[in-house]
A and B are shown apart, each in its own frame.
Chain A
Amino acid sequence: MNAATAIDRIAASHARLAPRLAGGPEWARRRGRALETLVGRGLPGRRDENWKYLDHARLAGYDFGVGSRTAVDPAALARARLPLAGARRLVILDGRFEEALCGGEPLDGVTHDDIDALLGREPAAALDLLRLPADDADDRFAVMADAFTDGGVVIRIAAGSAPPRPLHLLHVTSAVRPAAHHARLVIEVGAGAKLVLVEEFLSLGDAPVFANLAAELAVGASADVEHLRLHRQNAAAAQVETWVARLDAAGSYRQHLVVLGGRLIRSNFRLALDGEAAACRLAGLFMADGERQVDIHTQVEHCAPRTRTEQDFRGIATGRGRGAMNGRIVMRPAARGADASQTIRNLLLSPLAEINARPQLEIHVDDVRCRHGATTGTLDPVQLFYLRSRGLDEATARSLLTFAFCQDVLAGMPLPAVRDFVATQVADILPDVELMREQA
């Protein structure tokens, strides 16, 4: 199957679905325009600079027919999800907000709104609220999400509030049959608020599902956000996500992205440091084992003085796994005194594994500091020999060094429960599980 037939299937699904969606004529027009744009642009292909490492044939092989929501057993979800005691839990199931699966004590200062309900209730307000897609050729999947806008959630954190417990946002697919799901997400963090947000992507079944998320994040002045993002979909799943985020003055945002699941994961994260002294830290760890393909693109735009970026990405590929890490940092003329550092380190554990790292710095102002470094290599033979000379067999030594490679990103995670869980998940992927568990 090629991209053209995929577009045809997407258009056919749209034609079947669109008349049944909420939002009245203005939303019908908006979805129609988005579909036109998408069909006009087509799906990205190998000639698109920012998409050239993606396996387009693999992507085109997914069923783009939007599936209906399947009821899931809350107990099955409880077993599958991250055990996060005390957290407030919000759930998007098969692309739509699912109140019945939400749980945990509500958090003071945190409110949410079901986008499906909002479309029916206040379609005009929803038009203003859901601003994506931006007019960027790279946002085709956001345009696709716009064309299928149906469900999702808006989350607001009141200015000055500091919820004492984390907010756990789950993106769940029932995955009982091949299907596509599109979801919208808007997160608004008020000025001075403090939030710990744990996002988790899960599939409950084994079917190959294409999930598409278009998300917007606004972090207010002096607000502080820790954002843990954990992809643990089934080994058949495809996930594309497009984030557009902005930070106001003195806002602080720290993201910890971990990709351990899925068959094809494409993450686009675009962040504008709009206010003076806004600061972000983006840390990431992905494991492309088996046949998994992970394609991570970040773009941070420094648009104000004294803004700061720190990036630390680690990728591991083994088996026939493939990864790509593209980190773009732009220093706009207003970004005087800005500071950015970017580290990309990749580890290849098998001869067929592949990772492409591409740091991109674009500097339009003199008075800034930028540092970046990208390395892709194999395990250090001297370290391997040292461990083996202490009696550890080669497989154990390799696992231990691979685990060690992940440690910096794991150590930076704020919630010990999540950190330990992720460490165990990483250890489970590596051979010699028992030993690794202990080290974890």
Chain B
Amino acid sequence: MSGEQQIMLDVRDLKVRAGERLILDGLSLAVRAGEVHAIMGPNGSGKSTLTGVLAGRPGLEVLSGSATYFGRDLLAMPPEIRAREGLFLAFQYPVEIPGVNNVYLMKASLNALRKHRGEPELDAFEFLNLVRARLAAMRMDETLLNRGVNEGFSGGEKKRNEILQMSLLEPTLALLDETDSGLDIDALKLVADGVNALRSPSRAIVLVTHYQRLLDYVVPDQVHVLAGGRIVRSGGRELALELERRGYDWVQDGTAAA
């Protein structure tokens, strides 16, 4: 079925360097609308570099290869244009920005996206109603809205704040970088609910995760194993379970053997 869909994100043979280190070494990945992909891999395999380079994180140098988004060169777009075109990155370590009001950022962000799409900007009242509804769904305290962005938030609150932003911005392509790590089971379910609510035939989601636990709640269409800067194995849901059972050494050994 999904094979009929146009490829939304098409990464081909991507090589990326951070400083002197080669991190992605010929990575290819194709994501179609409606799909959920899980990317798993050991620490240091390049998972965060992948989401980072797709979102436009500075300090990463693309040596070769390509990444297109609806056929357009994603890597040539400034980060804000990627965001306005519907790409969203939930950060592994959401940044604390004291002095920038959390709800102000969300409103500025949503309105930047709406403006880009030629839609009218929301006024303060409309926005507050919207954000309150989403906040309740994430079971977040309303006081978090008027704090500095992520300022003094607990680890779980930061992750939920990312999902809150995601649910407001309703991205076409959501990249979640280890959003599940460090969450207790209740928070994990909330995050999973947020992700599942976003699932639709017109959207795609890429979950980067170290553990398969999140995949109990967000069932992926495809699972990829990232090792040594490239995808060494792809499969269905069962691949995640096998990884869980056999550990990453199994695939890394497999790479060596291949």
Contacts and interface: CB of A to CB of B under 8 A. Distances in A.
B79 interface: yes
B68 interface: no
Contacts of B97: 383, 386-387, 401, 404
B98 A388 contact: no
Contacts of B149: 386
Given A388-B83, A394-B78, A406-B99, 13 more contacts: A385-B57, A386-B91, A386-B95, A388-B78, A389-B80, A389-B91, A390-B112, A391-B80, A391-B169, A394-B80, A404-B100, A405-B99, A438-B104
A64 interface: no
B98 A390 contact: no
A388 B105 CA distance: 11
A389 B89 contact: yes
B14 interface: no
B100 A401 contact: yes
A435 interface: yes
A285 to B, nearest CB: 12
Interface centre among B99, B113, B165, B169 (most CB of A within 10 A): B99
A401 B99 CA distance: 8
B108 interface: yes
B108 A396 contact: yes
30 contacts: A381-B59, A382-B95, A384-B58, A385-B56, A386-B91, A387-B97, A388-B56, A388-B78, A389-B82, A390-B109, A391-B83, A391-B84, A391-B112, A391-B116, A392-B108, A393-B112, A394-B78, A396-B108, A400-B100, A401-B97, A401-B100, A403-B99, A404-B97, A404-B98, A404-B99, A404-B148, A407-B98, A407-B99, A438-B104, A439-B101
Interface in B173-188: none
B79 A389 contact: yes
Contacts of A394: 78, 80
Nearest to B91: A386
Interface string A164-189: 00000000000000000000000000
Q: List the 6 closest pairs (A to B, CB-CB), nearest first.
A: A404-B99, A407-B99, A391-B112, A391-B83, A390-B109, A388-B79
Interface in B99-123: 99-101, 104-105, 108-109, 112-113, 116
Nearest to A405: B99
Interface residues of B, number: 32
B59 to A, nearest CB: 7
Contacts of A435: 108
A209 to B, nearest CB: 35
Given A385-B57, A435-B108, A390 B95 contact: no
Interface in B64-90: 78-80, 82-84, 88-89
A397 B58 CA distance: 15
Contacts, number: 86
A408 interface: yes
B55 interface: yes
Interface centre among A388, A390, A393, A400 (most CB of B within 10 A): A390
A404 B149 CA distance: 11
A382 B79 CA distance: 12
A392 B104 contact: no
A392 B94 CA distance: 16
Interface centre among A381, A384, A385 (most CB of B within 10 A): A385
Contacts of A397: 80
Interface string A91-134: 00000000000000000000000000000000000000000000
Nearest to B114: A391
A213 B182 CA distance: 58
A384 B112 CA distance: 16
Interface string A368-390: 00000000000001111111111
A386 B169 CA distance: 15
A392 B109 contact: yes
A390 B104 contact: no
Given A390-B109, A391-B80, A394-B78, A385 B99 contact: no
A408 B105 CA distance: 18
A392 B165 CA distance: 14
Contact of B105 (A390, A393, A406): A390
A392 B91 contact: no
